[in-house]
Structure 1
Amino acid sequence: MEIGIESGSRRGSVGRRSGFALFAIVARSLQQVSTLVVTLLAARFLGPVDYGVYSLAVVFVLLVQTLTYTGFYHFIVTSRAPDEDVLSTSFWMLTGMATLAALLLVVLARPISSLFGAAELQPVLALLALAQPFAAIGAWYSAGLLRRQQVTLQFGILFCQNLAALVGGVVLLWLWQSLWALVAFRYIRVASGLALCVVLSPLRPRLRFDRALARSATGFSMGLYGARLLTFLSRYAGDLLLGLSFSTAEAGLYRFGTRAATGATDIVSQPMSAFALTQLGAAARRDRDPSVVMERFCGSITLLIGGVSATIVLLGDDLVAVLFDPAYLAALTVTCAMAVRAVLLVVPSLLEPALAAAGRTGQVLVFDLASTAALVAAVFAAAPFGLAALAWTQAAVTAGVAVAAMLTIRKFNGIPLRRMVRPTLLAGALVLGYAAALLLVADVLEYVAPSRIWSLGLALCAALLLGILTLFLGARLRVFSLGVFSG
């Protein structure tokens, strides 16, 4: 009887962990899902010119948002100083930085719009910038809850916030088909998240500012801020260069092609980066071996992102033809290249949390400086040859960046190469098997389905079933683990 009770308890524990893991990834990923759905819906209602204006504005605002979720954010999660001192001091530093950056964007909105030759860019950019100080407060709450390991509450807030943004954004865009609906969508996300944090979180900022701790936080964060600036430049250099050199329509096409791929893969990669930071930071604070954490993240992320990327590459033609303005078909080569690049970025995406946990943030800056220089040089060299050349050149350079990231993590965090290479290659092999099976099914459906819409719908169902089977095989081979969704 006792054995039966223990067995039932273990099954219940596994079930609870699985349920929490599913809720965690849904809560974390819903932000990327809502952004992807709304921006792709915008591509249905708006032409490439309007879409290009919005995309350029978002690129600049994302710079502020990117800085908000690094540096001081990482310091809050990983610092060994007392909670109250860390949280209070970091609140004023994080919100102050975001406020100054937002005001600078407002001031520069007019010159930027003149530089890109798009008058509507000025008000869109200014309005989006003004929301960033409030978004920074939400980021502070997020980091504080992670520090206190109140992950259930954090995931609940994230889920409700992003669900409100998804529903509000879709309704607004459906009824009000303009750039301003997209601006309102971003305000819904910020306002709902901040309201939920204030009401539900026990955290409150204090009128306390520890100067010594602030200096420590600044020293810790500067390397990460520099690295994020360089990562931002490498990721969006193509958008900015096309916006400067060509029309906003071409920038819109490039951004759509990029967003279709990275928006889908970010559903996995961005939450995984946050989970990795939490787990690697906890391992560092408790003097545990980070190799185990890195191994399961390399395999799990490669398997998840690889599956999403393969689906995009194989079904992208039908998705665009059925759902969007035919003008966006010209961006499909960009989508395929960026899907491949997303897989190659798995290990580089883990470099920042790995080195931050080891206290080697300066090395993150050095690595990103070198990789960004290579990527930006590739962008300038390839841009005159068109969208496809620009995208595939970036993917090729990223392959070299991935190898360099593994070597850097081994050198400065001490994680053996085999703990990164083996799970990555095994996961890649499983992805290739998934892609081959999906290609075979899609070819059969193209001939037997009564219409292209039916073929697409059945192919997506097949992709889901094949994906579940691939994850099961990955778990059996110890490549995929639900443990990546904790923390």
Structure 2
Amino acid sequence: MKEKLARGVMWLSGAKIVVNLLGLVSTLVLARLLTPEDFGLVAIATTLITMLASMTEMSLSSALVHHEHPTDEHFNSAWTMNLLRALLLAALLAGAAPWLAVVYKDPRLTPVLLLLALSVFIGGLNNPKQVVLTRRLEFWQEFAVLVSQKMAGLIVGVGMALIFRSYWALVAGTLATQVAGLIVSYCVVPFRPRPTLSRVRELWSFSAWVTLSYILNTLNWKLDHFMIGTFIGPKALGTYTVGDNLAAMATRETIGPLEATLFPGLRQVTGDPERLRRAYTRAQGLITMIALPVGFSVGALAEPLVLLVLGPQWTGATLVVQFLACIFAIQTVNTAAHPLSMALGKTRLMFQRDMLGFAIRVPLILGGMWLGGVAGIVHARVISGTLAVLINAEVVRRLIQLPIRRQLLNSWRSVVSVAVMWLCLRGAQQEWPVAGPVLQRIAMLAVLVLFGLCIYMAVHALLWRVSGRPPGAEQDFKELAGKAAGKVSRKLLRRDVLPDQPAA
């Protein structure tokens, strides 16, 4: 299983690298061609759509992964349910578009919502049989889907932005992303769907609590966007949304490949409690060791990063990136609680966790906005994110009887190392100019990132040696890196030793 997981991580890591590079190009271009108000207008629409879509999310893919022996009837039922849901959502959005435009006092919302409703319908037609490969811990199809979607969105979005210089570029990019994902999903796993609802009850028995969790999570994570768009305005929402995405991107995309393999991977060892605890502890330690330096580097270098990537008109996003990048990284200390509960089928416990998180986060967000506007919301998210770590730790304790103290100490070397790295980066940054030629600023960021990484790795290695080189994240990272390097060297060696082919 470790070999399959390693290959899965490599495929998903490759996808994330390509997607991040394409996303960086898209952000660099669109942030300079469009305005914060353009992003804010589309963000209002996408926030409303995301909230409505998540409230009706049925988590059928997770149910198919969890099912012992899914048949074509299960896949056809999942496809039919997704189609009916997409039709309902598209109709609701189309009908509500004129009313929402009046509520937000912006007639541009009507056509934007109509076209984004079409994208929701297209997304509902995706091939559910892709999970066959996920169940086998094969993730090359994720690479194909993610990269094709991002490439299509980039080409169409940037092309439209260059021609029209308006928010329609963002809408067109979203539509292109959905169309590309739909086409590729049927190319990677051939499937001819047939309408049926024969297995609905069987699938719904697993996904019901997951659906309720999605509803709460969406309200939880989109409430701040909704409040800013409603009470402060599109420009503030555009700045906040872009800053939020930039803050989350590095951590999310870095650990995404590892997290994506955990649900099917942990599912295979649920019959052995001790092995499950060991697998969870090792996986969580590896995730934290990788995520912490990434998130805190972005937070420490937020000011030069925002100016370089987004431009001077986006300086308001600096505070958002500074704080949220760090709290996203901190939350990875036990982010694997969700795939663990899914693997064990304890979806009701996740719903209870999300209920508690919702009850804590909503008052903090509302109070933060009332006291300090966008800055108050950012600080409220820092507090709620820190409390979420403790809540997740309690969830893991209930699931696999792993003490909270042991969970938190599992990554102590990573926490100490990243604290030293952050202090060094903040100190070194004072010696570098924020403004200047683009190439100079790129070189500055590259040097600072490399400097911080070296500090982190040196401190981590020292602490590991002092601790007696215990088995854990460091050893797992060495094994993964060694396997990846070995595969590359073998391919290069085979290429070198192959005799030249005679000319035809």
TM-score by length of 1: 0.85
Match of 2:177 among 189, 202, 209: 189
1:95, distance to aligned residue in structure 2 (A): 2.9
| Matched position secondary structure for 2:264 | helix
Counterpart mapping for 1:264-343 below 5 A: 264-284=250-270, 289-343=275-329
Counterpart for residue 178 of structure 1: 166
Contact 1:242-1:250 at 8 Å conserved across structures:
yes
Which stretch shows the higher mean deviation, 126-135 or 200-209?
A: 200-209
Counterpart mapping for 1:140-219 below 5 A: 140-210=128-198, 213-219=199-205
1:324, distance to aligned residue in structure 2 (A): 3.1
1:341, distance to aligned residue in structure 2 (A): 2.2
| Matched position secondary structure for 1:221 | helix
Contact 1:442-1:459 at 8 Å conserved across structures:
no
Counterpart for residue 486 of structure 2: none
Counterpart for residue 61 of structure 2: 73
Q: CA RMSD in A?
A: 3.4
Residue identity opposite 2:174 in structure 1: R
Separation of aligned partners in 2, 1:261 and 1:326: 17
Larger RCO (alpha carbons 8 Å, 6+ apart): 1
Separation of aligned partners in 2, 1:347 and 1:203: 39
Residue identity opposite 2:235 in structure 1: A
Match of 1:420 among 382, 407, 420: 407
Contact 1:78-1:285 at 8 Å conserved across structures:
no
Separation of aligned partners in 1, 2:124 and 2:451: 39
Contact 2:152-2:173 at 8 Å conserved across structures:
no
Contact 2:294-2:329 at 8 Å conserved across structures:
no
Structure 2, gaps ≥5 residues long? 484-504
**CA separation of 1:99/1:450 partners in 2, compared to 1, >3 Å: closer, same or farther?**
closer
Indicate yes or no: 2:112 matched with 1:120: no
Counterpart for residue 3 of structure 1: none
Pick the structure with greater CA Rg. 2
Counterpart for residue 351 of structure 1: 337
Which stretch shows the higher mean deviation, 156-165 or 424-433?
A: 156-165
Which stretch shows the higher mean deviation, 151-160 or 381-390?
A: 151-160
Q: How many residues align?
A: 470
Per-residue CA deviations over 1:287-319 (Å, capped at 9, x if unaligned) read: 783223322332233233322222222222122
Separation of aligned partners in 1, 2:20 and 2:49: 16
Counterpart for residue 87 of structure 1: 75
Counterpart for residue 55 of structure 1: 43
| Matched position secondary structure for 1:283 | coil
**CA separation of 1:67/1:152 partners in 2, compared to 1, >3 Å: closer, same or farther?**
farther
Residue identity opposite 1:295 in structure 2: T
Which stretch shows the higher mean deviation, 112-121 or 279-288?
A: 279-288
Separation of aligned partners in 1, 2:75 and 2:480: 26
Contact 2:34-2:161 at 8 Å conserved across structures:
no
Counterpart for residue 230 of structure 2: 244
Counterpart for residue 490 of structure 2: none
Contact 2:98-2:110 at 8 Å conserved across structures:
yes
Indicate yes or no: 2:428 matched with 1:434: no
Separation of aligned partners in 2, 1:52 and 1:73: 31
Separation of aligned partners in 2, 1:68 and 1:146: 23
Separation of aligned partners in 2, 1:38 and 1:67: 29
| Matched position secondary structure for 1:106 | helix
Residue identity opposite 1:127 in structure 2: L
TM-score by length of 2: 0.82
Structure 1, gaps ≥5 residues long? 1-12
Separation of aligned partners in 1, 2:136 and 2:252: 26
Contact 2:81-2:197 at 8 Å conserved across structures:
no
Counterpart mapping for 1:19-34 below 5 A: 21-28=9-16, 30-31=18-19, 34=22
